[in-house]
Amino acid sequence: MSNVDFLDLARKEHERQEQTLRLIPSENYAPDAVLHLLGSALTNKYSEGYPGKRYYEGQTYIDRIETATIELAKELFEVPYANVQAYSGSPANMAVYGALASPGDTIMGLSLDAGGHLTHGHHASLTGKWFQSVPYGLDPETLHIDYEDLERQAREHRPQIIISGISAYPREVDFERIGRIAREVGAYHVADVSHISGLVARDLHQNPVPHADVITTTTHKMLRGPRGALILSHDEEIAKRINKTVFPGLQGGPHMNNIAGIGYTLQQARTDDFLTYVKQIRANTDALADALHTEGFNLVTGGSDNHLLLLDLRESEVDGARLSEALMKANISTNKNSIPFDDASPAHPNGLRVGTPAVTTLGMTEDDMPEIARLMRDVATHPQDAHRLEQIGEEVKMMTQQFLE
DSSP codes of every residue in 233-278: ES-HHHHHHHHHIIIIII-SS--HHHHHHHHHHHHHHTSHHHHHHH
Q: What's the average model confidence in pLDDT over 84-113? A: 97
- Amino acid, single-letter form, for residue 394: E
| Per-residue pLDDT tens digits for 341-362 | 999 999 999 999 999 999 999 9
Q: What's the average model confidence in pLDDT over 59-67? A: 98
Q: Across the chain, how many H-helices and E-strands are there?
A: 15, 15
pLDDT grade, residue 30 (50/70/90)? Answer: very high
Residues belonging to the chain: 405
Q: What are phi and psi of 398, to 5 degrees?
A: -65, -40
**Whole-number Å distance between alpha carbons of 405 and 49:** 44
**Whole-number Å distance between alpha carbons of 113 and 36:** 38
**Whole-number Å distance between alpha carbons of 132 and 277:** 40
Phi/psi region, residue 166 (left: phi>0; alpha: psi -120 to 50; beta: rest), is beta
pLDDT grade, residue 2 (50/70/90)? Answer: confident
Residue 376 has pLDDT above 80, yes or no: yes
User: What pTM does this model have?
Assistant: 0.96
pLDDT grade, residue 236 (50/70/90)? Answer: very high
pLDDT grade, residue 46 (50/70/90)? Answer: very high
Domains and CATH numbers, the chain: 32-269 (3.40.640.10), 272-400 (3.90.1150.10)
| Per-residue pLDDT tens digits for 264-289 | 999 999 999 999 999 999 999 999 99
Q: What percent of the chain is modeled with pLDDT above 70?
A: 100
Provide the pLDDT for residue 361: 98
Cα 258 from chain centroid? 17
**Whole-number Å distance between alpha carbons of 157 and 102:** 16
Beta strands in 16-95 (DSSP E): 21-22, 49-50, 53-54, 81-83
pLDDT grade, residue 245 (50/70/90)? Answer: very high
pLDDT grade, residue 40 (50/70/90)? Answer: very high
- What rounded mean pLDDT belongs to the chain? 97
Provide the pLDDT for residue 404: 85
Give the active site residues: 46, 48, 192, 218, 221, 227
| Per-residue pLDDT tens digits for 183-203 | 999 999 999 999 999 999 999
Count of Cβ atoms closer than 10 Å to residue 31 Cβ: 16
Q: What's the average model confidence in pLDDT over 312-320? A: 95
Bond into 248 cis (ω within 30): yes
**Whole-number Å distance between alpha carbons of 347 and 334:** 15
| DSSP-based three-state secondary structure for 22 | strand
| DSSP-based three-state secondary structure for 384 | coil
**Whole-number Å distance between alpha carbons of 85 and 73:** 12
| Per-residue pLDDT tens digits for 136-153 | 999 999 999 999 999 999
